[in-house]
Amino acid sequence: MALSESKTKKPLDTVVKFALAVFVGSFALIWGGMYLSRPDRSIPPYTVGAQSSHLVVTDVPRGTTDEEVESLVKRFRKVGRETHDFARMKIYPTTPGDPGGPYRQIVIYVFDDHGWTDPEVLAKYLAGNTEVIKDFERSMRGYYRLLDQEEEGGIGPLSKNGQVTSKTRILFKGRVTDPLPVEAEPIERGISISPL
pLDDT digits (tens, 9 = 90+) for 90-131: 888 888 888 878 888 899 999 988 888 888 988 888 888 888
Supply the pLDDT for residue 6: 59
CA–CA gap between residue 110 and residue 142 (Å, rounded) = 5
Supply the pLDDT for residue 184: 47
What pTM was computed for the model? 0.71
Supply the pLDDT for residue 58: 92
Residues 17 and 107 in one domain: no
Give pLDDT < 70 ranges for the chain.
1-6, 37-41, 159-164, 182-196
Residues 13 and 84 in one domain: no
Residues 81 and 147 in one domain: yes
Please state the domain count of the chain: 2
Range of the structural domain that residue 110 is part of? 47-183
Residues 20 and 109 in one domain: no
Residues 114 and 52 in one domain: yes
Supply the pLDDT for residue 56: 92
State the sign of the Cα–Cα–Cα–Cα dihedral 152, 158, 164, 167: negative
Residues 70 and 110 in one domain: yes
Would you say residue 81 lies in a domain?
Answer: yes
Name the phi and psi angles at 171, rounded to 5. -85, -40
CA–CA gap between residue 161 and residue 138 (Å, rounded) = 16
Supply the pLDDT for residue 195: 46
**Helix and strand tally (H, E) in the chain?**
5, 6
Residues 72 and 153 in one domain: yes
Supply the pLDDT for residue 160: 64
